[in-house]
A and B are shown apart, each in its own frame.
Chain A
Amino acid sequence: MKPFYACNSLEHAVSRRHFLTGSAAGLGALGFADMIRASGEIERRNKRVLVIYLAGGVSQLETWDPKPGTNTGGPFQAIPTNVTGVHICELLPHTARHMHRLALIRGINTNMDDHGGGAYIMMTGRRRNPGESYPHLGAVMSKLLGDENNPLPGYIHITPGSGNGGFNRGDAAFLGPRYASVTLPDGNPPANLSRPNTLSELADAQRNDLRERLNNRFMQTRRSADTEAYTTSYDQAAQVMQRRSIFDLSREPAHLRERYGNHDFGRHCLLARRLLENGVTFAKVSHSNYDTHHENFDFHIEQLGEFDRTFATLLDDLAQRGMLESTLVVVMSEFGRTPTINRNLGRDHWSRAWSIAAAGSGIQGGAVVGRTNDNGTAVVDRQVNGGHLFHTYFRALGLNPTRNHYAGGRPIPMADPQASAISEILS
């Protein structure tokens, strides 16, 4: 007899035969799709995720969990929101008017004060271990929620600055490169999206026609799933090239662009909305930089000034388009900032008592869960870690986090089996 295994035993039964020969990657995926259908989750497919990533670590005290008048509180006041009894920092006046849409999780302890390690926890719901790699939330959602007929990449990351764009294979780990993220630095369209100037549309069509003739001849006798995947990937590229206007913000009305804000973050959020509207499953927008070891308060005035109005506009825009209820929106960082104010008026890395906010699909607006002590140095109620957050995102999207991925046939729980969802903020 096999010992009782915590993960879904039905899936073990289904996959065992394939596992034994190591071919579960392909066949197991089929079984999995069947199971989705059987459980009715296919109807929940029209869901998507937007992560606003405040890079460097936003201060929870200057945002979701202010402690005015204490030794750690800093100079800012707390203001009431449109939900009775819930107060947030005065640097977020526009956001405060959307509190009925937002849930706050104030008891996060990820216990990881390193940027990379913290980001890894927030993206994968796991702590980093040598020899293990887990797929990012974006890759997972792109696989579970994505529409395979949509030619666009499922997981897009919009970053500030003109850094390196491209394709981040590692993000998808064992799920495979199809689900890895594509980075759009400064919101620029993906690399190689346009036909070279020296190639006319007609010539491009002619050369592709010849390529297809060759393929058809070759595949008459030698066809496989791999050759099929290869030849259709050119059609996918052609479709995305044709639809490249979705990366073009000039198609949006001027007044809306104005409301989002005439700065990078505003433009990037508007682009994210366009992408999600056009079938991208997971968009992540990074806003930089909150790593305020010096002059924490001045920096937060400046950064949150951009964030606040844009974020409020984004929530409004999503709601007006009827997208908010099917889009999970999460505002997160790799960690928070120390309650203690250092001698440079800065706050340092701090992961033991911090907060995030969520809205949209499956989220109970106005809910607040978790509590820190009076000056914010410890969680005193409903402490959660990255695993709990991962479970919560799944549930909010109508997905079951206790199922398994299969890596070469090996079952891997989709979310940390030792954690569970934070049901208090789920609608």
Chain B
Amino acid sequence: MQLSPLGCTAICGLILGTPLINAQSLSARIDQFVAAKPDYAKKAAARSSDSEFVRRINLDLCGVTPSTVDARAFLADPAPDKRLKLIDKLLASEGFVRHLVDTFDVLWMDRRADKHVKRGEWLEFLRASFAANKPYDQLVSEILSADGSDPKMRAAARFYLDREGEPHLITKDVSRLFLGMNLQCAQCHDHPLVDAYKQDHYYGIYAFLSRSFLFADKGAKQSIFAEKGEGEVSYQSVFVAKVTKNTGPRIPDRPLLDEPKLEKGQEYVVPYKPGEKPQPKYSRRAQLAKEITSPANPRFARAAANRFWFLMMGRGIVHSVDLDHQDNPPSHPELLDELAKEFAAKKFDIRAYVREIVSSETYQRSSEPPKGQEVEPRDFAVYPLRPLTPEQLALSMMQATGMLEVERKKLGAKATEKAVYDQAQKAVQTFVGLFGSPAGEPFDPTAYEATLAQSLYLRNGDLIRDWLAPRPGSLTQRLADLKEPAALAEELYLSVLTRPPSVEEQKDVADFLAKRTDRPAAIQDLVWALLTSAEFRFNH
């Protein structure tokens, strides 16, 4: 059984007469699809340095830069397969789960305030799901199936309940998040700019939801997402006067849902009366989760594959990720097909799929373009610069300044991963307020803006000032203990920027310290300058 990968490929290729590409690992196939574009070799950045890689992979998988100790160990490790080993270690870590929770909480709830479901319970539902590596389709299915009445699945109902059960809002978000179709414009008319997005698409999804409403269950003292057994959907375009259309539930480009015909008056097990929770014999909404995640709906796997690609690569193969239509074709159509097929074939195993993406050479390219080359982001020839999310920024600043380590020390025997990061939550929330998108607005990680409030905070804010105060285990304390400027520069650059300083930078540090008579304050100012640099602010 111990055939070498190359041998296997060659044999399978020969025997089955299929292209060699099919038998290789997905990560190798990614590289081949991407490299097939003309001039790719000329445009492609070199392989990232170990420093670039270790910073990037920690940010992308765990949402925080590596600790000084971990970075130093990785850089010193001579093993040729150390990148793969690190990927596997991080994928198995609590940090990966935590980062997925942060990412999907923002993606699915848009930082809405919690009203009907406590945010903590929702986060715990996500945590348990990602920790168990729950298949992605199952997770989505659970969220779209929960109505809030089953205590075990109450948290999953937050998607519906904290949108106040508003069918239009849910229609827009379900199509945007799970089908890669931003149908917002199609509520009132066929999309004016996207020929492929029709009002029929919008109302087909809306029809799964139009009978549902938020019901205040007085007995259980909670709201649930209830549903009537009747009510048809009709709509008019604001462009076309006096033409009324009707539709039943329907996923875009799929046939109309085949529904049981119930006689009028026979729709209910428990009839609809004000103040009582109705129970219809047939639930339209119950079909939604099934129809969305069904293998017969190729958009789901495609949107999912593209979404995780986007999270790791900073750009979708279809880009923007919610504008998948014929006039906005994928940059690499065959690759996207392949990814969607593989993700689905591996039962939407998130870890396995992400592992293939980040193991590819495509992911591991440097963010420095080759000299003289204008590179389009859609070529995936150079890793893009991406601003850290508010969560990544807060945690990475705490990592760099040693504050996570300080919290760990303070907790002593109780210092689990979770306990340490719980301690960091207050700072994270401050950063979310300052750097995050407003509640209810979808977060677009590719739309970056710097504000005055942010830069005043970074310059003069007391929280960052406090992180720079020396204390046992903190970076400024460790630096104060290093007498040699060269050693100090090494510890400083490794801790904040995850790389050793250049010769020029060593000199900068030495000069800076020589200029100043107040060494402890000078050390704080050095750390501040690195923390506020563009190199720190962006994932690269």
Contacts and interface: CB of A to CB of B under 8 A. Distances in A.
B512 interface: yes
B190 interface: yes
A158 B327 CA distance: 47
User: For A22, A238, A411, which residue has the most chain B Cβ atoms within 10 angstroms?
Assistant: A22
A188 interface: no
Interface residues on B, range: 35 or more
Contact of A133 (B239, B440, B540): B440
Interface stretch (B225-233, B296-304, B445-453): B445-453
Nearest to A209: B529
A198 interface: yes
User: For B322, B368, B451, B461, which residue has the most chain A Cβ atoms within 10 angstroms?
Assistant: B451
Interface residues on A, range: 35 or more
A156 to B, nearest CB: 11
B436 interface: yes
Contact of A230 (B193, B515, B528, B534): B534
A193 B456 CA distance: 6
A177 interface: yes
B534 A198 contact: no
A214 B530 CA distance: 8
A229 B450 contact: yes
A16 interface: yes
A233 B525 contact: no
B194 to A, nearest CB: 7
A69 to B, nearest CB: 46
User: For B189, B456, B515, which residue has the most chain A Cβ atoms within 10 angstroms?
Assistant: B456
Interface stretch (A107-115, A215-223, A259-267, A282-290): A215-223
Contacts of B461: 191-192
A202 to B, nearest CB: 9
Contacts of A192: 453, 456-457, 459-461
A170 B441 contact: yes
A210 B239 contact: no
Contact of B193 (A20, A167, A198): A20
B449 A195 contact: no
Contacts of B537: 227, 230
Given A130-B169, A213-B508, A408 B182 contact: yes
Contact of B192 (A2, A23, A152, A232): A2
Contact of A214 (B168, B323, B525, B529): B529
B451 A227 contact: no
Given A178-B449, A226-B448, A233-B454, A193 B193 contact: no
Contacts of B459: 192, 195, 234, 237-238, 241
Contacts of B434: 167
B148 to A, nearest CB: 18
B182 A191 contact: no
B242 to A, nearest CB: 14
Contact of B451 (A25, A167, A206): A167
Contacts of B532: 211, 234
B439 A230 contact: no
A19 B322 CA distance: 12
A203 to B, nearest CB: 6
B449 A207 contact: no
B3 interface: no
B27 interface: no
B185 interface: yes
Interface in B229-246: 237, 239-240
A170 B453 contact: no
A3 B192 contact: yes
Contacts, number: 201
Interface in A14-32: 15-16, 19-23, 25
Contacts of A16: 193
A133 B437 CA distance: 13
A236 B454 CA distance: 11
A215 B534 contact: yes
Contacts of B190: 3
Contact of B448 (A12, A214, A217, A229): A229
B528 to A, nearest CB: 5
A221 B370 CA distance: 9
A344 interface: no
Contacts of A221: 368-369
B185 A211 contact: no
Contacts of B450: 229-230, 232-233
B323 A215 contact: no
B184 interface: yes
Given A167-B434, A229-B448, A191 B515 contact: no
A118 interface: no
B535 interface: yes
Nearest to B371: A221
A218 B516 CA distance: 25
A25 B540 contact: no
Nearest to A193: B456
A174 B441 contact: yes
A354 B522 CA distance: 62
User: For A3, A174, A190, A226, which residue has the most chain B Cβ atoms within 10 angstroms?
Assistant: A226
Given A167-B434, A227-B385, A408 B441 contact: no
A203 B172 CA distance: 52
Interface string A222-248: 101011011111101110110000000
A215 B533 contact: yes
A167 B453 contact: yes
Contacts of A167: 433-434, 451, 453
B533 A211 contact: yes
A177 B451 contact: yes
B461 to A, nearest CB: 5
Contacts of B184: 410
Contacts of A130: 163-164, 166, 168-169
Interface string A279-322: 00000000000000000000000000000000000000000000
Contacts of A208: 529
User: For B163, B461, B525, which residue has the most chain A Cβ atoms within 10 angstroms?
Assistant: B525
B404 to A, nearest CB: 23
B458 interface: yes
A233 B368 contact: no
A418 to B, nearest CB: 11
A166 interface: yes
B323 A182 contact: no
A153 B452 contact: yes
B166 A131 contact: yes
B462 interface: yes
B470 interface: no
Given A12-B192, A178-B451, A169 B436 contact: yes
26 contacts: A3-B240, A4-B239, A20-B327, A130-B164, A178-B449, A182-B452, A190-B452, A191-B453, A195-B460, A206-B525, A207-B529, A210-B529, A214-B534, A215-B533, A224-B385, A226-B385, A230-B450, A230-B534, A233-B454, A234-B458, A234-B459, A237-B455, A237-B458, A408-B444, A409-B193, A411-B192
Given A226-B538, A230-B450, 9 more contacts: A3-B192, A16-B193, A133-B441, A207-B528, A217-B505, A229-B450, A233-B451, A237-B459, A241-B460
